[in-house]
Amino acid sequence: MEFKIKTGDLAKQKTPCLVLGVFEKHKLGAPAEAVDKACNGQLTALLKKGDMSGEGGRTLLLYGLPGVAAERVLLVGCGKRKEFDRAAQRKAVTAAVDALAQLNAGEALCTLAEPLPRGADRYLALRDSVVAAAARDYRYTRTKDADKLPKVALKRLALWVEKKAQQAEAEQAIAHGRAIGDGVALARELGNLPGNICTPSYLAEQAETLAADHPKLTTEILDEAAMAELGMGALLSVSRGSRQPAKLIVMHYRGGAEDAKPVVLVGKGLTFDAGGISLKPAAQMDEMKYDMCGGASVFGTLQAACALGLPINLIGVVPASENLPDGAANKPGDIVTSMSGQTIEILNTDAEGRLILCDALTYSKRFDPELVIDMATLTGACVIALGAHASGLFTADDALAEEILGAGERAGDRAWRMPLWDDYQPQLDSNFADMANVGGREGGAITAACFLSRFTKDYRWAHIDIAGTAWLGGKEKGGTGRPVALLTELLLARAGVAPKAG
């Protein structure tokens, strides 16, 4: 979908469809009031008849309004005026895109960023509109019959601002929103691909393709022989049960000064997780193709950074493997030696994500990073604790926690800080190794983070558990692309890319 900015008198805008917001109790937003005045109060009269309540997400399509140049007018319910916040605005934009998809309009002019939602400036309101529209416009098509796919009805969406003086700010919001939206879409697409297509080797190929498309991005792929030479015994122990060789994917984006320390993003890339010898139940095991969504978010964020041309240095590290049962697979009770030299007793082979991550985190030390953030669909315990709304954030660094939480709030991709206290570390004690790979049922998400913390002593680090937020089940089954928006917002702030005044 293409996005652009329009200004000027709404009643005179020639467009296949004009999108206007309506609040409960027959209240019109300022753009709708201007159009209502041009058509001699017909919108007000219609609302009084009860055809449109203004309830959030409801829509009503009108044709042939006198004094209005638009071919159609789509009214979108925005809920109660006093409760119109960023979430309500995103809901309204999503409803508008759904309704527009049923038309043959091809293009529309949207005014739903006015009035400004509570908690947003104009930049954020417009950027949210782009991200929400792009997210709703995404369709998975890779393995479907092309002749049976729904036609893309909405190709261009214009966003309206009242004054030309606001155009520079609006154009920046669109550029940032498009980069975030495209990054989210890439992460969703990689996550949605089946495990027989999206293998570790496929992910490595996609990294090389991404680098070929962006001159500031280079890619290095380490095969199993290279990882063995580095002593990555934890990571390689996971891939032994698979016929697909593991890959360590390293992507370097160089947009900052040569001597500037990089931000390193590490993403778990388990392209399919059957649990290994500790086999998972059959129900919903198909969703374990999403166990690489941490890695997918690294891809999406790097693409966004490239599109934005951020003046920073950024490195993405994705340890990619499968976890399957086999005669060569890890067994409960096995002991492996990680790249750090620490030994690990594997009590549960289904706690494999931390095994591939710990070697990737040790590997990241060589970059002398400014900070390291890892993302992983790591624990079902985090899903129980936080559900599908907030990702779990673990770090001992209070300033970094505030930075990440703030980015999540601003991006509408929220996280919630969980404890990472030394009180939990003894749960990982082992009689036979330096540590066990699990610490029991109690505080499972916390002990998983405690495990990773043992490999991150040399740099600032945070862990984001996205097991509850990386994909949706049920009728809306599919990858969400989280936390690409959070990470991109964090990088924008770190790069000092401030919104232009308008």
User: Which residues are catalytically annotated?
Assistant: 280, 354
Extract the tokens encoding 114.
């006015």
Longest CA span, the chain: 82
Considering only CA atoms, which of 295, 273, 275, 281 is closest in space to residue 376?
295
Give the pairing type, strands 72-77 and 59-63: antiparallel
Coil vs helix vs strand at 253: strand
352 labelled ligand-binding: yes
Is 55 labeled as ligand-binding?
Answer: no
SS3 readout for 170-231: HHHHHHHHHHHHHHHHHHHHHHHCCCCCCCHHHHHHHHHHHHHHCCCEEEEEECHHHHHHHC
Residue 350 marked ligand-binding? yes
Q: How far apart are CA 237 and CA 121, in angstroms?
A: 50
* Side-chain half-sphere exposure of 114, counting CA atoms within 13 A: 19
Copy the structure tokens of residue 210.
């991404």
268 is in an annotated binding site: yes
| Residue 432 CB burial class (10 angstroms; 0-12, 13-18, ≥19) | exposed
Place of tokens 């990555």: 232
Give the Cβ contact number of residue 256 at 10 Å: 19
Rounded Cα distance, 107 and 92, in Å: 17
Cβ pair 404, 393 in contact under 8 A: yes
Is 273 one of the annotated binding-site residues?
yes
DSSP secondary structure letters along 11-73:
GG---S-EEEEEETTTEEPHHHHHHHHHTTTHHHHHHHTTS----TT-EEEEE--TT--SSEE
* C-alpha distance from residue 45 to each of 56, 59, 69, 467 (Å): 20, 17, 19, 49
Question: Residue 174 in contact with residue 125, Cβ under 8 Å?
Answer: no
Q: Which amino acid is at 399?
A: A
Detail the residues annotated as belonging to a binding site for Mn(2+): 268, 273, 291, 350, 352
Detail the residues annotated as belonging to a binding site: 268, 273, 291, 350, 352
